[in-house]
Structure 1
Amino acid sequence: MDRGTERDTPPGPGRVPLAVAVVDHEGLVSHWSTGARRLFGVPKEDAIGRPALDLLPVAGALPDPADTPAPTPYDVLAEYDGHGTALGTDLGYPSAGRARISVPGDDRADVLWWAYPLLGPGTERLLVLAADAAVLYDETPDDAVCVERVSPGFARHTEFTGADNLARGLPEILPSMSVGESARIVSQVLELGYPVLEFSQNEKVPVTPDWGVSRRTERKVRRERAARAAAQGLPVPDDLTDDGEDLEYVAVRERLEFLNEVSGRIGTSLDLARTIVEVSRAVVPRFTDVAGTYLREQVVAGEAFDEGVPDTRTMWHRVALEHTDEPGRWDDVVPVGEAMPFPAHTPFFQCMTTGEPVLVPRIDERLGHAIASQFDKRDIRPLITGRSMLVVPLKARNVVLGFMILLRHPERAEFNDMDRVTGAELAARAGLVLDNARMYTYQEAVAETLQDSMLPHIAPRMAGCDIATRYLPGTQLGRIGGDWFDAVKLPGARTAFVVGDVMGHGLNSAAKMGQLRTAIQTMAGLDLPPAQLLRNFDDLAQRLGGDYLATCLYAVYDPIAGELSIANAGHIPPVLVRAVDGGSELLDLPTGAPVGVGGVPFEAVRLRVEPGDRLVMCTDGLVEIRGEDIGVGLETLCESAAHPAASMDDACDTIIRALNPRGGRKDDVALLMARLNGIEPDDVAEWRLKPEPAEVRRARAAIAEQLYDWGLARLVDNTVLMVSELVTNAVRHARGRPVTVRLVRGETLLCEVDDADHELPTLLDAGALDETGRGLRVVSTLAREWGASRSGAGKSVWFELTLPRR
């Protein structure tokens, strides 16, 4: 990087330093480049925010505040000091000029300037480019460069073959602007015109000056300029002496600064998608103009994969694409989200298999065609041909996770060996960050899958009740825990509600929870009374080990009788919200002791409930905060549970919102809410049959009549057939006691047959000559769902049928 004033030193061959400034709608300078500081002698901090007319010789481009405002700021005539025709500058037209200005600490300078009005929604009003005319002359008359050769003109008036190059290079000389803003400026310059001036940017660009330019050439030019200054008797600037800072050292230092800055910008979170975007944006436009990021298919999906060398069948997902081209130019041709393999003849395959960067100084026609052949019905050759390319692997622990394709515009310096080293170091750091995010995402997915598999998927409606549940993982203790909820279907259209909390946190608690939940669900199928069930549950926990401690609430709801029976094992009490007045109360239950303690009796409480009452059961993680009385949380639970809500889900969300923002929650939370709708007596029919074979015929007739009364004639044939089979078996095993048949109309049609025999029926595969064994096969085939369970008096065999649509 040339330090010092560019006007004092001749530029390199064919290079004209440019000053770049941007003026906002208030007429104040909003962008002031390093070239502007050198040309006008004003530091950036002094220029930003000052009136542009105080700093820039843009006569005619901005109105003088002292003058009467013109109809538009560009309705003036811009003259070019005899080196071009006068150009009318109506609104939207650029202007240009030449002026001699006074520079602080120097004599007057001869300045060429071009001003472009910036239209559109942005805050920028005017783009100003300026150059020192003095650098266009050589002291030797024979080698003099005519100023007219580079006189500013506009595309609508001249022929200029370098238009595209200038347009593509414009965003690079405005590094403080976003890609979208730069693209808008580029499109306007192309439409409105541009100066006929070939130039190469000669100000401090990111990382190092002119990456890819030979350092020996730079050093030689510096020596020649120093010798020329000494021959003319002029003082030699410090930056042109051999005592100045070595360019190699500067290059290395600035690259290290760049890598350090990139490292600070990536890995701000463990979210894989966000990390991918950070990595891509960190290198554009400072290191490259286009950056495409590809990852293995399994990495994107959060799955494990074979860590061997990739092959031609490995699928790679394009997960990010950043560029400085005009918006949409790449998006349609190479969209993000596309997956593809890469053949062995491509640089990408070489990079992914060797794990080393691959440098292509220029993509020629042959290579461009080979790469484009991978994209069906899309010609990407115009996007890549002529560009310099660097492919760097994204790897961690010697495993290639993906790679980045970096491309530079044709007019920008090619990637070189130093860039290869820099890109490799950049990719190594990015690979570690991506791997951390990948592992975190994978472990989080495993934890969520484990937790989801351990928690039941409860139907929103069961016999006589609506159910809603919520599970929230602990915010500080991982994504899994020992809290659970459950709802179990019981004989007699009853439902068991369970909420429990295994003591402890993390994976061990989740594993214990899975065992205990399965155990209590199995015991619920035995239709034990709540107190007896907790007694058996406590015995089981003791047999499993001393560290199997858990609190538990177990409730059985009978929608026909309108009764709720609840037993508590050391858990926080549930809340009952009454439908009559909307009031809520904590149910006063015997506390009991956590299961696994042993030797403590459990008691059940029976209470009447009305249709519409709501039962709320949760774990202590929702209401308990360390250092705060749990009574505060329970009071908030009662208040929020009673809040009116449009649905069960809304009611659960209301409770969560009321208690979660209190802060300090570190435990996981399980919440179960049941609206106890009950079953109307008109929807229940029951018959007691004598243990005689003749009663089977009576059962068939009664069932058929009831279904006709309910308007369920389409279910008569199948229901009668299955009831006939079940009643026949019940009469055979009744042991002289009555057989009960119950029909319940709810969300489904439920039929139950009870008898005094405790032996559960078994589904058999009857042979062609067998006289029995076909009854349950018929039930299993015709029923939506069926089952059998023991009860205190014997057993109950039931089946369900789907109600026809009305």
Structure 2
Amino acid sequence: MDRGTEVGTTPSRGAGNGTAEHTAVGRVPLAVVLVDRGGLVSHWSTGARRLFGTPKEDAVGRLAADLLPVSGALPEDDDAAPYGAYAAYDGLGPGLETSLDGRLAYPAAGRARLSAGDGERIDVLWWAYPLVGPGRERLLVLAADAAALRLGDQGDPDHPDGHPAAGAGIERIAPGFALHTDFPGAEELARRLPEILPSMSVGESARIVAQVLELGYPVLEFSQNDRVPVTPDWGVPRRAERKARRARAARAAASGEPVPQDDQDEGTDLEYVAVRERLEFLNEVSGRIGTSLDLAQTILEVSRAVVPRFTDVAGTYLREQVVAGEGFHDGVPDTTTMWHRVALEHTDEPGRWDDVVPVGEAMPFPAHTPFFQCMTTGEPVLVPRISEQMGHMIAAQFEKRDIRPLITNRSMLVVPLKARNVVLGFMILLRHPERVEFNDMDRVTGAELAARAGLVLDNARMYTYQESVAETLQESMLPHIAPRMAGCDIATRYLPGTLLGRVGGDWFDSVKLPGSRTALVVGDVMGHGLNSAAMMGQLRTAVQTMAALDLPPAQLLRNLDDLAQRLGDTYLATCLYAVYDPIAGELEIANAGHIPPVLVHAGDGRSELLDLPTGAPIGVGGVPFESVRVRVTPGDRLVMCTDGLVEVRGEDIGVGLATLCESAAHPAASMDDACDTIIRSLNTRGGRKDDVALLMARLNGIEPEDVAEWRLALDPVEVGRARAVVREQLHAWDLGGLTDNAELMVAELVTNAVRHAHSRRIDLRLVRGDTLLCEVADDDHTLPTLLSAGPTDECGRGLRVVSTLAREWGASRTGAGKSVRFELTLPRRC
């Protein structure tokens, strides 16, 4: 095509092979080809005609494999051998042929030498992008002539194979990809790419451009060696070269000739360059790792920081306890220590390592391996070349898999990841056979790299461990509420705050009360952290204890306020306490500085904020609390939450309350769906930093026909009457299978009530709900206790019988005296 685009160059991946780094920007004409899902060319630009010599009318509709170097494999001739070796080393990925049947899910690049129409050979660089989504286009191919990218003198033109003459420059160019986030000209590239895709709709062009920028923009990686001193293998001159320079300088000094300036300065310059390159590399790596306290993200950052610049393969192993986020003994690892492979980065073709050494596998390492030596000594282990014998020894650890082709003849460096003299893991670094092997300076560099990475990993590990402890503490303090209580269904949600406030003081609870009633509680200790969570645990326990005493809501908050002042004056808490009576169809609510609840009416779907006396937060002291009674109907829903759900910094809380009312009234298929609707509506506004507790109760009520009540006289003969009315009512409810046990237990409770009551009134009630509930109330305030009766004792066996036969039993004080109750499980209905 006629147009061009700016193609940047990046540091060569072969820098470890004695190559130099360059940075350049220029305009390179590109050929643009689109391949459809059938593997046929659907677009052939003017640049493609100029590069490949085929007119557009002859190219469109033909198989792309016949016109392009789609395989990525170079011709098997002498001219292509240098390029073929380099392509194999660089691991440029699979050829384009795999994309024609839809298997290519990543960009690919390659280099090939092709025959032009006039008999000449052209050196082609190409990039290929898979296209996903609507449209017939399946593949975008960009190509360029490498001859236009020469860096200098390429060789001796008289040489029959075109090989460079002695002392001339040696150049290598390879296509590659770079993420657009690293490319300052991404916006300009996005604007220009549609210009090189003529005869396409705006939508199709935008789709292709978006995918190209997502997968990576084309770059050229090149390097050259020439007469300018370029240090091989990380800038470290070989010992023989240093000796040769010193010998030349000595001979020149002995003969009285001046010492060549190159021999005077070259050693110093090369050592300086070597040190500078390593420091720059370490500084660059240090800046790229540790950007997150997430352990998994940190592991990926460490692995990707060294590939491909320092090594070609990097496998990271961590102790089992580190992966689990647990603490561990600070001792030396042994042959039983399990090591998890948590990351594997490489420059080989995608998928080559996945099946043989999958991420996530755990294994121990025997004592004769270099890995065991590294983990026990805490020092790097250098293997210049993995011999066949060592490859076989290492491969023996991998059952039913042959890893030898992947590691044999490669250079290996094993570096420990440790912090505070404790080995957390290690990294296995491998270089391709064509690359210069690791040396002693690489060992030092790897050790420094591992030391920095170990500290970052340890910070992430400690954070993960502390976060796990905090979450466990928070979860242990939050109750596991049953989804069904007497006459109501309950659903809850808890959302932690920001990473700095994963542990907070928000809580919810429900408590079973006498008379088939249920107490519903939501509270919020002001502040975050472990102290707030501990205070929350104390208050929640106190609320449960006082609720079991059946205190009125206002009196309960009064006692809770007194307790908070005794615990200390540094914490405040808000609390909303409601008691639901499903038989009377009534809520009794008291508020201690909390946001009001929302009541959603079942009849018309209308929602309203209940108008309650606000009261002061728990811990202020000296402030009265008031209770309010609210009539409810079956199907109404009560929504109680903490202010973290509705309050956003910089926004009036009234906006959040209005959104809460609106989302609570939204119809939902279930209670869980209704809670999720509220969370989605309020949690997407952004700016939330506080934790959230949400409790929703659907107030189903108990129908009058499911309740039976009797008033008994204070007379022993009433025991027989109680047995008779219970038997009759159970048969009416078709619960005859419960008659024997129910009669026996009712007789025991009524007998105790007749014996200890002070007036002539005993109340007996049966409630049919999820269970059969029986309550016997009298005016005696002394609660019964479970006794151990001896063979000759005449008393003490009644409650033992109740405790044995009942599903659940209990006693509590009431305003008039006490109430003793038991429950029986209802038979399954067929």
TMscore range, shorter length? 0.7 to 0.9
Matches of 1:399 and 1:486 in 2, distance apart?
44
Contact 1:363 1:389 in 2 (8 A): yes
Please name the residue that 1:536 is paired with. 559
Match of 1:147 among 138, 161, 181: 161
Number of aligned residue pairs: give it.
702
Residues 755/67 of structure 1: CA separation in 2 closer, same or farther (3 Å cut): closer
- Name the structure 1 match of 2:25: 45
Matched residue type, 1:266: I
Q: Give the 3 Å change call, closer, same or farther, for CA 422–803 of structure 1 in structure 2.
A: farther
Letter in 2 for 1:63: G
| CA-to-aligned-CA distance 1:285-323 (integer Å, 9 cap, x gap) | 222222111111111111111122222222221111222
Q: By how many angstroms is 1:671 displaced? A: 2.3
- Measured in 2, the distance between the counterparts of 1:573 and 1:135 equals 81
- Aligned residue runs from structure 1 range 195-594, under 5 A: 203=224, 209-210=232-233, 215-216=238-239, 246-475=269-498, 478-594=501-617
Q: Cα distance, 1:598 vs. partner? A: 2.6
TM-superposed CA distance for 1:483, in Å, is 2.3
Query: How far apart in 2 are the matches of 1:413 and 1:223?
Result: 24
Report what 1:798 is aligned to.
821
CA distance in 2, matches of 1:398, 1:174: 43
1:689 CA drift (Å): 3.0
What is the CA–CA distance in structure 2 between the aligned matches of 1:788 and 1:719, rounded to whole Å? 17
Q: How far, CA to CA, are the matches of 2:78 and 2:508 in structure 1?
A: 86
Cα 1:528–1:637 change in 2 (3 A) is same
Aligned to 1:640: 663
8 A contact 1:739–1:755 mirrored in 2: yes
Which residue number in structure 1 is paired with residue 177 of structure 2?
Answer: 176
For residues 47 and 2 of structure 2, the distance between their equivalents in structure 1, rounded to whole angstroms, comes to 18
CA 285–609 in structure 1, closer or farther in 2 if over 3 Å, else same: same
Assess, with a 3 A threshold, how the Cα gap between structure 1 residues 212 and 33 changes in structure 2: closer, same or farther: closer
Q: Residue 32 of structure 1 contacts residue 47 of structure 1 at CA under 8 Å; is this kept in 2?
A: no
Moved more, 277-286 or 637-646: 637-646
Instruction: Give the direction of change, closer, same or farther, for the CA distance of 1:613–1:76 in structure 2 (3 Å limit).
Output: closer
Relative distance call for 1:691 and 1:347 in structure 2 (3 A) is farther
Q: Residue 620 of structure 2 is aligned with which of 597, 603, 626?
A: 597
Q: How does 1:665-680 map to 2 (within 5 A)?
A: 665-680=688-703
Pairing 1:96–2:114 present: yes
Give how far 1:611 is off.
1.0
Distance 2:2 2:514 in 1: 78
Residue type at the aligned position of 1:351: C
Answer whether contact 2:307 2:313 (CA < 8 A) is retained: yes
- 8 A Cα contact 2:594 2:617, kept in partner: yes
Q: 1:333 to 1:69 in 2, by over 3 A?
A: closer
The 1:729–1:595 alpha-carbon spacing in structure 2 relative to 1, beyond 3 Å, is same
Tell me the equivalent position of 1:62. 52
Structure 1 residues 438, 252: closer, same or farther in 2, change over 3 A?
Answer: same
Does the Cα contact within 8 Å between 2:385 and 2:409 map onto a contact in 1? yes
* SS at 1:499 equivalent: strand
Residue of 124, 137, 146 corresponding to 2:141:
124
> What is the CA deviation profile of residues 605-662 of structure 1, one whole-angstrom value per residue up to 9, with x for unaligned ones?
1121111112222233333445544333333333332233332233333333333344
Match of 2:750 in 1: 727
- Which amino acid in structure 2 is aligned with residue 711 of structure 1? D
Q: CA deviation at 1:249?
A: 2.7
1:280 is displaced (CA, Å) by: 1.5
Superposition deviation, residue 47 in structure 1: 4.4
Percent identity, aligned pairs only, is: 73
1:399-441: per-residue Cα shift (whole Å, max 9, x none)?
2211111122223221111111111122122112212222222
Whether the aligned pair in 1 keeps the contact of 2:31 and 2:143 (CA below 8 Å) is no
Aligned counterparts, 1:749-764, within 5 A: 749-764=772-787
Give the residue type in structure 1 aligned to 2:815: G
Indicate how the Cα distance of structure 1 residues 359 and 714 shifts in structure 2: closer, same or farther if over 3 A, else same: farther
The gaps in structure 2 that reach 5 residues or longer are 14-21, 34-45, 70-74, 81-95, 98-110, 131-137, 165-171, 180-221, 248-259
Deviation at 1:766, TM superposition (A): 4.3
The one-letter code matched in structure 1 to 2:25 is E
**Distance in 2 between residues matched to 1:484 and 1:711, nearest whole Å:** 41
The answer as to whether partners of 1:482 and 1:509 remain within 8 angstroms in 2 is: yes
SS in 2 for 1:582: coil
Q: Does 1:748 align with 2:771?
A: yes
Q: 1:276–1:34: structure 2 CA closer, same or farther, 3 Å change rule?
A: closer
CA offset at residue 565 of structure 1? 0.9
Paired residues of 2:599 and 2:637 also in contact (CA < 8 A): yes
Q: Secondary structure at the match of 2:26?
A: helix
Read off the aligned partner of 1:46 and give its amino acid letter. G
Cross-structure match for 1:658: 681
Question: Shift of the alpha carbon at 1:392?
Answer: 0.9
Q: 2:632 aligns with which of 609, 626, 640?
A: 609
Give the letter for the 2:453 counterpart. Answer: A
CA apart distance, 1:84: 10
Shift of 1:732: 3.4
1:370 aligned partner, one-letter code:
M
Deviation at 1:589, TM superposition (A): 2.0
Contact 2:708/2:767 (<8 A) preserved: yes
* CA RMSD between the two structures: 4.5
Cα drift, residue 339 of structure 1: 1.9
SS for the counterpart of 2:330 is: coil
- Amino acid across the alignment from 1:308: G
